[in-house]
């Protein structure tokens, strides 16, 4: 690679666009280009322009105080420029890296409003891109690629750490150091992002667990809701079908019994009328008539007693039916009773745990606790699965009603006995009458039979009415339960009953329905939006988890890369240091005609921990700096600070020459480095340029004729009347050709 062209416009004294062409002398020799001119003409601005376009940020090195000083400020005859622009063209040769383009054009532009921009091959770029490109090209940004006035001596005056930075860049370690810096920056960024992601994960994990539990409960609730609807349809439809069917059957029996009762009573009244007519035509005997009236009285008393008995029986049956319906109404456990039962179990578990934790647990004390806990848990589980019946006292018969029933039975037994006695007397009278009134008695017997049949029909009707009352009570309890839980089904019960049909053991569905309702009540109401929030939170959790894993993998990879770069930098630094030390010693002896010079690695100083103890430096710790020892022949100097000005200049040149030999730069700009040298040493300096020009392209700003003599091209810089610098170029080989022709 070599520097092909430098274009300047508005930079310092170069007001108009100025182009400097730099071409190697041949395929194997880079050559030397000299830039000459009187003091103040602006020739050193060429070196500043190269340094600036390479990304220099220090205004001190650019010999200015503020950025605006880099823009042509104008003169009496020429207006100031609005911007400063420098473009540098580099050519990559075939033997160099294939990653670099054949021609690289670096451009830097600065406006008076302070806006600055970089371009690489006319494409917008950043300073970091320029720095990395130059490092890959083997061009030092702030070290020996551009050595300005006083910088050569500054190397000797620099601290060991500053010298190490200089030598590292000269040794070609800059690309690795930049990559390491980028890797460390990425590592710090990745760790920061990992900490943020971990914090977010810790924040959303409890919320995700809570949402997951709610979603599971929501899924359970959906299934329970489906079971509840199914059970309700089966229970309510089947129960209403059974109620309707049973009440219909009872209604048929009741109507038939009432119809028979009406029929027998009508026949009895007809026979009564017939008997009355017969009695008028055949007057009965006085005794028989009295007996008959007694039987009729007894019959009336019996009828009254039977009516009272039927009413009392109806009251008893209705009371039993209501009590039974009340007991059949099952009530699920309330949430407070569930919590109370759980707390009792927890207390027993705590007591059991205390006994178990004892080094020698007493089994005799543990056994009753376990049995009590098992019984309590079984009872609690049974009460959850089969909600208890509505707690109601066992129905008992009213004592007054029971006494009245017993009294009626006694009275009816008495009437029965009296009837038998009178009937026996009537039979005796009838026998005495010799059958005179056989027909009358037959009619009387039939009348009594009809009355008995009417009474039986009345009793059957009374039993049917009691059963109807019981079913009506169950219907009322059923409707009350329906209106409590599903009032919307009441208008369509008949349709639902037809669709459901008969359900076997429909009463067993009620405990299941009650248990399902209890579970739904325990789950409670959950917002359906919880599912959406859970999905979003889970996706975010999974994304963060993946990101955390990726970041951890990236961190492991960056740690590996940094370790490899550290090893590469250490290895290359050691190799370059030994070569550089050897070249420096050899070049020093060549320039001084003897003497000794060496580079020494400075180890880092031990640190002190928090307790004030001295922490030794690890054996593999990186070098903290580089020191320089230079002893000219015939002297015994321990410090380079004791060297004279010329000796310092020669030592600096020896060091720069050693760096050139160790890691040749594509080009080097030397700005009046030879200013402090005498004629003899200038000749040595020029010989070094002549020797190194085979591997490195030199752009030399100088006043010295000996140095100029090594140049193949000379640019003369002069300051025009308008205050701007102008350039005139001369190729010495062309001059030699013209002289030969002359």
Distance (Å, whole) CA 317 – CA 371: 43
DSSP 546-601: HHHHHHHHHHHHHHHHHHHHHHHHHHHHHHHHHHHHHHHHHHHHHHHTS-EEEEEE
**Res. 78: pLDDT tops 90:** no
**Res. 163: pLDDT tops 50:** yes
**Res. 361: pLDDT tops 80:** no
**Structure confidence by residue, pLDDT tens digits, 307-332:** 777 777 777 777 776 666 555 555 55
Residue 739 confidence (pLDDT): 44
Distance set, CA 442 to CA 274, 289, 436, 437, 449 (Å): 12, 15, 12, 9, 10
Buried b (16+ CB within 10 A) or exposed e, 140-169: bbbbbbbbbbebbbebbebeeeebbbbbbb
Mean pLDDT across the stretch 91-103? Answer: 72
Q: Which residue has the higher pLDDT, 421 or 30?
A: 421
Write a three-state SS string for 426-452. Answer: HHHHHHHCCCCCHHHHHHHHHHHHHHH
Most confident by average pLDDT, 122-126, 240-244, 461-465, 674-678:
122-126
Residue 506 confidence (pLDDT): 78
Residue 741 confidence (pLDDT): 41
Residue 742 confidence (pLDDT): 41
DSSP 618-677: PTTPPP-EEEEEEE-TT---S-GGGS-HHHHHHHHHHHHHHHHHHS--SEEEEESGGGG-
**Longest alpha-carbon distance in the chain:** 200
Split at pLDDT 50, 70, 90, the class of 567 is: confident
Q: Which residue has the higher pLDDT, 444 or 144?
A: 444
Mean pLDDT across the stretch 3-20? Answer: 92
**Res. 76: pLDDT tops 50:** yes
Tokens 């409890």 identify what position? 206
Distance (Å, whole) CA 579 – CA 562: 25
Residue 390 confidence (pLDDT): 46
Distance (Å, whole) CA 221 – CA 223: 5
Q: Which residue has the higher pLDDT, 167 or 581?
A: 581
Residue 115 confidence (pLDDT): 92
Report CA 684 to chain centroid distance, whole Å.
71
Most confident by average pLDDT, 159-173, 281-295, 483-497, 702-716:
702-716
Q: Is the CB of residue 114 less than 8 Å from the CB of residue 136?
A: no
Residue 691 token pair:
């020797």
Alpha-helical segments (H) within 359-398:
363-385
**Structure confidence by residue, pLDDT tens digits, 384-438:** 665 554 444 555 667 787 888 788 888 888 888 888 888 788 777 767 665 555 6
Percentage, residues of the chain above pLDDT 70: 83
Please calculate the CA angle 94-733-92 and round it to the nearest 5 degrees.
Answer: 15
Mean pLDDT across the stretch 96-122? Answer: 86
Q: Is 739 helix (H, G, I), strand (E, B) or coil?
A: helix
Please name every residue paired with 146 in a beta bridge, in sequence order, or none if there are none: 669
In the chain the domains, ranked by start, together with CATH numbers, are 1-144+703-742 (3.40.50.300)
Most confident by average pLDDT, 3-17, 144-158, 233-247:
3-17
Distance (Å, whole) CA 77 – CA 19: 22
**Res. 734: pLDDT tops 60:** no
**Res. 526: pLDDT tops 80:** no
**Res. 518: pLDDT tops 70:** yes
Distance (Å, whole) CA 63 – CA 294: 154
Q: Which residue has the higher pLDDT, 668 or 642?
A: 668
Strand 32-36: give its sheet, edge to edge. 146-147, 667-671, 697-701, 32-36, 713-719, 725-731
Mean pLDDT across the stretch 651-667? Answer: 80
**Structure confidence by residue, pLDDT tens digits, 259-307:** 888 888 888 888 777 777 766 655 556 776 787 788 788 888 877 887 7
Q: Is the CB of residue 11 less than 8 Å from the CB of residue 83?
A: no
Q: Is the CB of residue 669 less than 8 Å from the CB of residue 146?
A: yes
Distance (Å, whole) CA 377 – CA 383: 10
**Res. 185: pLDDT tops 80:** yes
- The mean-pLDDT minimum among 98-112, 382-396, 708-722 falls in 382-396
Split at pLDDT 50, 70, 90, the class of 111 is: very high
Residue 738 confidence (pLDDT): 39
| pTM: predicted TM-score of the whole model, two decimal places | 0.52
Buried b (16+ CB within 10 A) or exposed e, 289-298: eebbebbeeb
Kind of pairing, strands 123-125 and 83-91? unpaired
Residue 152 confidence (pLDDT): 64
Mean pLDDT, the chain, as a whole number?
A: 79
Q: Minimal CA–CA distance to 43: which of 68, 71, 18?
A: 18
**Structure confidence by residue, pLDDT tens digits, 186-202:** 888 888 888 888 888 88
**Res. 96: pLDDT tops 80:** no
Q: Is 146 helix (H, G, I), strand (E, B) or coil?
A: strand
Residue 654 confidence (pLDDT): 83
Mean pLDDT across the stretch 475-483? Answer: 84
Q: Is the CB of residue 217 less than 8 Å from the CB of residue 526?
A: yes
Mean pLDDT across the stretch 620-641? Answer: 77
**Res. 375: pLDDT tops 70:** yes
**Rounded-to-10 torsion of CA 546, 550, 552, 553:** 140
Mean pLDDT across the stretch 600-614? Answer: 75
Kind of pairing, strands 607-608 and 103-111? unpaired
Q: Minimal CA–CA distance to 265: which of 453, 442, 446?
A: 453
**Res. 729: pLDDT tops 70:** yes
Residue 387 confidence (pLDDT): 56
Q: Which residue has the higher pLDDT, 643 or 319?
A: 643
Task: Determine phi and psi for 114, rounding to 5 degrees.
Answer: 95, -10
**Res. 737: pLDDT tops 60:** no
**Res. 77: pLDDT tops 70:** yes
Split at pLDDT 50, 70, 90, the class of 53 is: very high
Distance (Å, whole) CA 93 – CA 4: 12
Q: Is the CB of residue 9 less than 8 Å from the CB of residue 52?
A: no
Tokens 């580079």 identify what position? 599
**Structure confidence by residue, pLDDT tens digits, 660-704:** 777 777 888 888 888 777 788 888 888 888 888 888 888 999 988
Mean pLDDT across the stretch 442-462? Answer: 81
Split at pLDDT 50, 70, 90, the class of 480 is: confident
Split at pLDDT 50, 70, 90, the class of 58 is: confident
Residue 35 confidence (pLDDT): 93
Query: How buried is residue 67: exposed, middle or buried, by Cβ count under 10 Å (0-12/13-18/19+)?
Result: middle
């Amino acid at each position: 690679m070599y520097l092909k062209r430098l274009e300047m416009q508005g930079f310092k004294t170069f007001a108009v666009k100025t182009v400097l062409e730099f071409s190697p002398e041949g395929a194997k020799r880079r050559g030397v280009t000299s830039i000459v001119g009187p003091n103040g003409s602006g020739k050193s601005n060429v070196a500043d322009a190269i340094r600036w376009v390479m990304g220099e940020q220090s205004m001190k090195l650019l010999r200015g105080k503020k950025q605006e000083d880099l823009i042509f400020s104008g003169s009496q005859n020429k207006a100031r420029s609005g911007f400063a622009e420098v473009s540098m063209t580099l050519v990559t040769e075939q033997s160099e890296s294939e990653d670099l383009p054949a021609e690289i054009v670096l451009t830097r532009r600065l406006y008076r409003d302070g806006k600055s921009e970089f371009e690489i091959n006319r494409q917008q770029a950043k300073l970091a891109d320029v720095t990395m490109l130059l490092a890959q090209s083997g061009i030092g940004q702030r070290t020996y690629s551009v050595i300005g006035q006083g910088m050569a001596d500054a190397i000797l005056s620099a601290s060991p750490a500053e010298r190490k930075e200089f030598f590292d860049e000269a040794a070609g370690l800059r690309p690795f150091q930049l990559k390491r810096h980028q890797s460390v920056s990425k590592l710090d960024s990745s760790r920061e992002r990992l900490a943020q992601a971990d914090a977010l994960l810790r924040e959303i994990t409890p919320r995700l667990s809570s949402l997951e539990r709610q979603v599971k409960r929501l899924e359970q609730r959906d299934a329970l809701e489906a079971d509840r609807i199914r059970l309700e349809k089966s229970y309510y439809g089947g129960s209403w079908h059974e109620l309707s069917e049973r009440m219909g059957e009872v209604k048929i029996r009741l109507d038939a019994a009432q119809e028979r009762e009406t029929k027998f009573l009508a026949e009895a009244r007809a026979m009564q009328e017939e008997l009355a007519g017969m009695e008028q035509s055949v007057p009965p005997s006085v005794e028989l008539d009295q007996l008959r009236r007694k039987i009729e009285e007894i019959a009336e008393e019996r009828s009254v007693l039977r009516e009272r008995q039927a009413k009392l029986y109806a009251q008893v049956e209705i009371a039993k039916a209501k009590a039974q319906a009340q007991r059949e109404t099952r009530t699920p456990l309330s949430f407070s009773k569930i919590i109370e039962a759980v707390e009792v179990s927890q207390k027993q578990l705590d007591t059991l745990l205390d006994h178990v934790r004892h080094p020698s647990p007493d089994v005799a004390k543990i056994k009753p606790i376990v049995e009590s806990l098992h019984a309590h848990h079984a009872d609690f589980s049974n009460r959850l699965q089969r909600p208890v019946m509505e707690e109601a006292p066992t129905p008992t018969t009213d004592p007054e009603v029971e006494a009245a029933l017993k009294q009626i039975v006694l009275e009816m037994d008495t009437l029965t006995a009296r009837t038998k006695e009178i009937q026996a007397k009537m039979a005796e009278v009838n026998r005495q009458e010799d059958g005179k009134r056989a027909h009358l008695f037959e009619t009387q017997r039939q009348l009594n039979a009809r009355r008995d049949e009417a009474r039986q029909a009345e009793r059957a009707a009374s039993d049917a009415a009691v059963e109807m009352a019981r079913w009506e009570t169950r219907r009322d309890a059923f409707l009350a339960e329906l209106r409590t839980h599903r009032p919307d089904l009441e208008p369509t019960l008949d349709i639902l009953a037809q669709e459901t049909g008969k359900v076997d053991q429909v009463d067993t569905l009620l405990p299941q329905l009650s248990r399902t309702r209890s579970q739904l009540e325990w789950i409670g109401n959950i917002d359906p939006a919880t599912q959406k929030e859970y999905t979003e939170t889970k996706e975010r959790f999974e994304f963060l988890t993946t990101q955390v894993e990726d970041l951890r993998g990236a961190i492991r990879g960056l740690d590996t890369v940094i370790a490899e770069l550290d090893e590469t930098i250490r290895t290359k630094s050691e190799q370059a240091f030994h070569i550089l030390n050897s070249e420096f010693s050899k070049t020093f002896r060549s320039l001084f005609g003897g003497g000794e010079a060496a580079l020494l690695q400075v180890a880092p100083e031990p640190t002190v921990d928090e307790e004030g103890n001295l922490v030794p430096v690890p054996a593999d710790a990186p070098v903290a700096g580089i020191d320089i020892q230079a002893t000219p022949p015939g002297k015994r100097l321990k410090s380079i600070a004791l060297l004279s000005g010329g000796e310092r200049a020669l030592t600096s040149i020896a060091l720069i020459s050693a760096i050139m030999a160790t890691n040749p730069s594509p080009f080097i700009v030397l700005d009046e480095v030879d200013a402090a040298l005498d004629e003899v040493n200038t000749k040595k300096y020029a010989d070094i340029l002549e020797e190194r020009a085979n591997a490195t392209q030199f752009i030399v700003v100088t006043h010295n004729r000996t140095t100029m003599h090594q140049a193949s091209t000379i640019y003369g810089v002069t300051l025009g009347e308008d205050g701007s610098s102008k350039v005139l170029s001369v190729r010495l080989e062309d001059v030699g050709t013209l002289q030969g022709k002359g």
